[in-house]
Structure 1
């Protein structure tokens, strides 16, 4: 080969390489963790997974993938450094056969969900489609097979870990019986569903120390006295429902996130399925990670930490809910103020204090703010498939504040439960951020390094 031809060959190679760098790998879109999350979300919607259970599924589904990524990216701390009791039995660094860790991690997200979710087998088709697409794009079958093997190893380890968190013992615990005493929670219309996960406080947390480590301020005592502080709390819910602005109504509907709402027409009942509150925040984490161009490794890390945060925040919130067992606004108003009154949103089937939206949204906002920044504008399109459009936000904390107050506008929470739930969630989020810092998690964007002030 002449020097001139050799030089031309080198220039063509460099040009092709630069184009590949500029436009990204042809596999990048297939290896977007948000696509795997979408498949899991739709499976959970199909299964009508309750909010706390959904948080648990998200945590484990992402943990196996993160284990694989952290093995190959030494800038990320090992899961054992911040997840309580996570066993160091999965030694991916000892595997010598060639595999693509991104393919293995992506596959692990789907595989863990397949093994855990009630209708998880529906994800097998998603897995097959994923592998077929990669093979069509030129990935060798031998590399795919070894990557799948590694993904399954990680999933098996995480599923084994999940079996030690007491979830399997819930069905053997004492059945919950609602109390008809004044001030106590009781099933609400139209479906009068039984209480959701009354023993959830027995689940082992992932990062926080215990279910009761972040108890909120004491609630206002129940009273029927029209001059009492509690009556004023109820009246606040009743009054705002009579004068909601168009934007307040939209906010309530956008953050509804009711996995199974029941509408009645005569003798007919119609169920409507939606994404859970945790699923909404997982989608926010995915879409902002993509907007910030974090890349595969950091996106998996963000989704993993968000999933862990949701699981722990629900455990903390559910502990106080069933300890206080407080009456919902709908029950109080129908009994003592207005028998025909109905909230804008359907009342969820569990006690009122504190607001789950307030707790998990603020915990999520603190963690995501630390990783991605405080001033990161984005458009939340999570609810488009469920008929509520999209909303713009300038920060995660702004979104958390709106998600929290949406429950007041919707008529299902007193403002006290929202305010104290906000404080509870922020404390949980700050605790998790402190654990992340100790483990070696650093902010993923320059904006995050500047924006997180705590």
Structure 2
């Protein structure tokens, strides 16, 4: 049988590739184990995983630089990217399961042709190139050029000695799968979110304890209808609005006042370590956002653990789905309960001159997006690597932060969640119930068959 494509050393576009540089190696085409196998399998564990790593590196740049990619919108893009990747390579394994039919509204997807040879790295590359270009339709001309260049670079890098028919078949299959995934995405209610983060037709409810625009910008509410979007997980009893917040009160003996007082005290007398945690996890406007931070950690761990392309695709799909659905559920809670932000309460009840350490986002307080996103993705990664897996987050080093080490994923979840209290923009009950929501999502994500 034809030997598999030799993997050339990555000479690609992005400097980050040196972090995951592929080693030249020969990999022979495996024999078809049984007639049940959908396609001839090519298995090269080292090297080809750099295809998704390179695309996620670029996607994080696009999130930073493309207008409208707020945290929920970014989570949505990350999720569809991961699903397209998963479906492009699922056919390489006889035991792998397509997500078609498992996810909400996603029909069965076409399998690869039986007994035909595929270059799975090229199929993955073509799927990622297509889906990312569709998900970021308003990229700058310079970043569109980067998308096209990365597509070409990966094709050259991973196509040495491949016949023309294998290349064409692999490219066509990746694009076919990604096209169907993108068509599915068009009906979820969120495709134009990047164009209309602040809809003018939304009028927030008024009354004691309810959210109002916050200083200094006093922006309209961001994505007030996002909680109505279709989740990727099928409907479930946990989708019902539950876990009401602490009852609003201005009584100094009330739990609400005590929660606000804690935020105030952390703002006035927080330790240097607490302030550093708040700034580390801020991930505000112009950054890769909280969902981007978490998918960046996932890609780092893929490289650290030298996962295969298939294993990486499984993890990236799971983390993406958890981020997307966690964001939808969180925004559903936010605009159902419409809890006012700490800065509003503190200035009216405790100290009229107080300001939070970090900027208050323009949407209600309960529940915390950071806590939800981090709990959802962190628990997915814990299911993959183990509940006691220790790791060091290197993602903010380019921004001048020291790496942060964690003895397990729960420690990361707790730190990211409490960071918003330290930063002055969430009550502790926002974070605690956000963690519960995220865990509910992750528990369902990991039960899917991959």
What TM-score comes out, normalization by structure 2 length? 0.83
CA distance in 2, matches of 1:30, 1:127: 19
Cα distance change on mapping 1:31 and 1:46 into 2, 3 Å: same
Match of 2:259 among 233, 242, 257: 233
Distance 1:95 1:349 in 2: 52
Q: 1:344 and 1:359 mapped to 2: Cα distance? A: 21
Q: Structure 2: 5+ residue runs without aligned partners?
A: 1-22, 28-42
Residue deviations 1:22-76 (CA, integer Å, cap 9, x gap): 9x97981673422210101110111241111111111111211211211112332
RMSD: 2.8
Q: Are residues 139 and 190 of structure 1, via their aligned partners in 2, closer, same or farther at CA, if it must alter by over 3 Å? A: farther
Distance 2:330 2:237 in 1: 8
Answering whether residue 401 of structure 2 is matched by residue 401 of structure 1, we say no
Partner of 1:75: 95
- Answer yes or no: is the 8 Å Cα contact 1:67–1:154 preserved in 2: yes
Label 1:126 to 1:30 Cα distance change in 2 as closer, same or farther (>3 A).
farther
Is 1:275 equivalent to 2:294 in the alignment?
no
- Quote the residue 1:12 is aligned against: none
Quote the residue 2:440 is aligned against.
427
Cα distance 1:124–1:87, how it changes in 2: closer, same or farther (>3 A)? farther
In the alignment, does 2:332 pair up with 1:313? Answer: no
- What does residue 193 of structure 1 align with? 219
Does the CA-based 8 Å contact 1:251-1:406 persist in structure 2? yes
Aligned match of 1:156: 179
SS of 2:50's equivalent in the other structure is: coil
CA distance in 2, matches of 1:367, 1:27: 23
Distance in 1, Cα, partners of 2:345 & 2:234: 34
Matched residue, 1:59: 79
Report what 2:388 is aligned to: 375
Counterparts of residues 199-348 of structure 1 (less than 5 Å): 199-209=225-235, 213=239, 215-258=241-284, 260=285, 273-348=286-361
Q: Secondary structure at the match of 1:375?
A: coil
Deviation at 1:422, TM superposition (A): 1.6
* Corresponding residue of 2:130: 111
Q: Distance in 2 between matches of 1:302 and 1:362?
A: 15
Quickly say closer, same or farther: Cα 1:231–1:377, change in 2 above 3 A. same
Partner of 2:222, secondary structure, is: coil
**Native 8 Å contact 1:381 1:390 kept in 2:** yes
**CA 391–208 in structure 1, closer or farther in 2 if over 3 Å, else same:** farther
Alpha-carbon distance in structure 1 between the residues aligned to 2:120 and 2:204:
49
What residue in structure 1 maps to residue 52 of structure 2? 33
Q: Which residue of 2 aligns with 1:46?
A: 65
Instruction: Evaluate the alpha carbon distance shift between residue 166 and residue 129 of structure 1 in structure 2; reply closer, same or farther with a 3 A threshold.
Output: closer
1:387–1:230 CA distance, 2 compared to 1 (3 A): same
Q: Partners in 2 of 1:35 and 1:288 — Cα distance?
A: 14
Q: In the aligned structure 2, how far is the partner of 1:150 from the partner of 1:378?
A: 36
CA distance in 2 between counterparts of 1:21 and 1:302 reads 26
Q: What TM-score, normalized by structure 1, do the two folds share?
A: 0.82
In structure 2, the CA distance between the partners of 1:128 and 1:147, relative to structure 1 (3 Å rule), is farther
Does the alignment pair 1:392 with 2:411? Answer: no
Unmatched segments (≥5 aa) in structure 1: 1-17, 261-272, 442-454
User: 1:8 corresponds to which residue?
Assistant: none
Contact 1:204/1:210 (<8 A) preserved = no
Q: CA deviation at 1:169?
A: 7.8
The offset of 1:212, in angstroms, is 6.2
Q: Give the conservation status (yes or no) of the 8 Å contact 2:346–2:354.
A: yes
Q: Quick check: which one's helix share is greater?
A: 1
> Of the candidates 104, 121, 125, which is equivalent to residue 102 of structure 1?
121
User: Cα offset for 1:248?
Assistant: 1.0
CA–CA distance in structure 2, aligned partners of residues 201 and 212 of structure 1: 14
